[in-house]
Amino acid sequence: MVVGDASIDIDVLVIGAGPGGYVAAIRAAQLGKSVLIVEKQHWGGVCLNVGCIPSKALISAAHRYEEMSHSADMGVSAENVKLDFQKVIEWKNSIVKKQTGGVSMLLKGNKVQMFEGEAMFINENEARVFNEQEAPRYRFKNCIIATGSRPIELKPFPYGGRIISSTEALSLPELPKSMVVIGGGYIGIELGQTFAKYGTKVTILEGGETILPGFEKEMSQLVARNLQKSGVEIVTGALAQSSSQTENDVTVTYKVGDTEHSITADYLLVTVGRRPNTDGELGLDLINIKMTDRGLIEVDNQGRTSIPHIFAIGDIVPGPALAHKASYEAKVAAEAIAGLPSVVDYKAIPAVVFSDPEIAGVGLSETEAKAQGIEVVTGKFPYAANGRANSLNATQGFVKLVAEKGTNTLLGAQVVGPEASNLIAELALALEMGANLEDIALTIHAHPTLGEMVMDAAEGALGHPIHTLGK
């Protein structure tokens, strides 16, 4: 390894090239800054390589397989539908390669310097970046830390062999015949349901009273119903205790109340959350950045840490670990460095679960609004009453709007059903712009589309529903 003594000057050092880091680097470069971005392993980060993108590829293939196998009621029958799981994995890998290659192209096209390796702070103004060949030293005017997160590992269930995280689940060498999933949050539900659609016998162990605890029960219950239709066993109130594995399977012991149970499967998938990558050789302890007890970096509304010229974004700062949150914070941090008055406003950050049916929410739910003492009016429109949903044979779910009583200002929205992940965008925009129910109801929506349900829900909340009967 070659180590340079003299420091190289740079305007902005970005550590991590995930959806936070690479966006921050591009935006800073667009604003006239000289930028170096350092990535340890994956250009595009966890999201593009072992998270958002590959998981959605597997989910899409699972939906296609299920549709081909169960479309007789639409007059479309297919015999001998076959699943080549290895081909699915190869296709998923091709998507990842295309996306990560696009990130590298965008960075280079914006004249961002790229370094594949690690970074370690020497002091508040300098860092050494290194790999097996070289270790240059950089003096930066500003730094953006975007090192992301990794799956939480539980002591009784160490990763290895038949015990896997979401990372390994996305690249299994064969389709499991059976799988136990610890954790009924969005990662466990997305992957568990996907493998079930491929034919794996899946058991989900959730410690709480319900799966997807961050969403309204009327939404998560629809997902639970579909999981059970796919043969998934959901065990709530289940506390996993221990595991033992052989070369071919793993046995999990868990408790429900005072009763102990055990289950054996090909794999155990542990999905109990993610841990911020703020430890290790980064050297945050050397510069005394202020952090929380959970290892998150404390920041202000521009992403600025306790060291004013060092910023932090994404999974390593408080808030939900969402790729689009990281990208949003990235732009704010880069613009703050350039002297622009950008600040974060999390009011309109959507959350999406790519389950079946999909779930999406933005702003306040009815329960949350009432807990804050806000009087609300709501409008709810079912997929079953929408022409496009019926033509798609996709009638599960609803769109629900929550508005402040009196002003009719939109406070939040929830969607459960096909394409919820896309429908929520209009509602996030409405929330961001301070729209009220009249604004939404008066917006002409194309017919026949799923988007009409947003307009219909607004009309219902205003008391003059057209396509459903009023109360």
What does the alpha-carbon distance between residue 194 and residue 230 come to, in Å, rounded to a whole number? 10
How many residues comprise the chain?
A: 471
Amino acid at 105: M
Secondary structure (3-state) at 35: strand
Active-site choice (261, 447, 464, 467): 447
Catalytic annotation on 447?
A: yes
Core vs surface per residue 267-291: b (16+ CB within 10 A) or e: bbbbbbebbbbbeeebebeebebeb
Phi-psi region of 393 (alpha: psi -120 to 50; beta: other; left: phi over 0): left
Sign of the alpha-carbon torsion through 199, 205, 209, 212: negative
Contacts with 86 (C-beta within 8 Å, 6 or more apart), sequence order: 174
Cis peptide before 357 (omega within 30 of 0): yes
Residue 40 is encoded by which pair of tokens? 């340890």
Whole-angstrom Cα distance, residue 234 to residue 12?
Answer: 48
In contact, 179 and 265? CB cutoff 8 Å = yes
Q: Are 194 and 222 in contact (CB under 8 A)?
A: no
Strand partners, 253: 242, 262
206: β partners: 236
DSSP per-residue string spanning 390-437: HHTT----EEEEEEETTT-BEEEEEEESTTHHHHHHHHHHHHHTT-BH
From 160, 152, 118, select the one nearest 138 (Cα to Cα).
118
Give helix 186-198 / helix 217-229 axis angle, nearest 10°: 20
Backbone CA torsion sign across 176, 179, 183, 186: positive
Contacts of 104 (CB under 8 A, 6+ apart): 43, 114
Q: Pairing state of beta strands 274-276 and 149-151?
A: antiparallel
Cβ 323 vs Cβ 128: under 8 Å? no
Catalytic residues, by residue number, are: 447
